[in-house]
Amino acid sequence: MSTTQPLTGPVADRPAGENLLEVRGLQKHFPLRQGIIFQRQIGAVRAVDGIDFSVGAGESLGLVGESGCGKSTTGRLITRLLEPTGGSVVFDGEDITHRPAARMPRARRNLQMIFQDPYSSLNPRHTVGTIIETPMRLGGIKPPQGHKKRAQELLETVGLNPEHYNRYPNEFSGGQRQRIGIARALALRPKLIVADEPVSALDVSIQAQVVNLLQDLQREFGIAFVFIAHDLAVVRHFSERVAVMYLGKIVEVADREALYTRPRHPYTHALLSAVPDADPDATQRRERIRLAGDVPSPIDPPSGCRFRTRCWKAQDRCATEEPPLLRAEGSEAGHLTACHFPEDPSVTAREEDIVLDPALG
């Protein structure tokens, strides 16, 4: 990354310990309707169903889970690309939960998003320069050096040639397009960026480059991140804290060291056991867990604990009482788990592998 023309990053001006983003009881239910003329609501998809988390200034929070658990919907709710059904989103001291778009200019400047697909997120009819300059023009930002010079500086910052200013997106590879999307997100000098699986559509050889670029930008400009991904290895490399989602709920939150070496929720244990072992010849074998069946439908989720239908520790209480997100006995401060019967804090091999699906035995 070039540093010959350093950019002025956002100032983390909030007091230490005060959160930049506060999410409380956030919900998004998509209605299911029946009928052609008089559409009657017959149910709802509970994509996000009451989640709480916070992000401090300059901090990176990873959001992980299986496909369909509500990660991307959460990102769009935070950035107000979707209207929440319930709960609250407080960003930089302002409640933006239901704020109209016309009253969002300040929040929009400080809250940006990097999208998953670098092909569909860039307008093919616009040049790279126009794509990067548009947020500045819409936000009323007039850099002293002019929009063009600022856009070229941003291109250089993300590792592209400033001469690419007049080219079109179809002239670039997927990794280069994602760098353009990152430059666009940086144009307004945001305090928080929501990165929605920013490397999942890229070749493996390019993923590390983009993740390292984002990490460099975070350190250089003090930007906070909500990093959404299903790749646990990428999240561990990038995020300081990690929240695990399952079927619209957050089931565990901890700093990355505690979560990856001392997880407490059974679902987190299952996720980590599925990560390929980087050292298959290691003397200490890791636990192996094979879950039964698919994730239940968010239209009619299980009562009580939503993971109970696939959990080897489920008891009667799990079906009648939803577990709150609390600190489990023996966990560090800030390590929260939503489980009535949390697992031991270890990922080492068990006496017997857990195999819940006979077909996989």
Q: Which residue has the higher pLDDT, 352 or 23?
A: 23
State pLDDT tens for residues 131-178.
Answer: 999 999 988 888 888 999 999 999 999 999 999 999 999 999 989 999
State the pLDDT at residue 319. Answer: 96
pTM over 0.85: yes
State pLDDT tens for residues 282-296.
Answer: 666 788 888 877 789
Measured between alpha carbons, how far is 225 from 230 in angstroms, rounded to an integer?
Answer: 16
Question: How many Å is the Cα radius of gyration of the chain?
Answer: 22
Tokens of 287: 């636990």
State pLDDT tens for residues 294-348.
Answer: 789 999 999 999 999 999 999 999 999 999 999 988 888 899 999 999 999 988 8
pLDDT band at 34, cuts 50/70/90? confident
State the pLDDT at residue 37. Answer: 78
User: Which amino acid type is present at position 148?
Assistant: K
pLDDT band at 87, cuts 50/70/90? very high
Q: Inform me whether the pLDDT recorded for 242 exceeds 90.
A: yes
Mean pLDDT of the chain: 88
Long-range contacts of 169-176 (CB under 8 A, 24+ apart): 169/119, 169/122, 169/123, 169/124, 169/126, 169/128, 169/131, 170/124, 172/128, 173/206, 174/118, 174/119, 174/201, 174/202, 174/203, 174/206, 175/118, 175/202, 175/203, 175/206, 175/209, 175/210
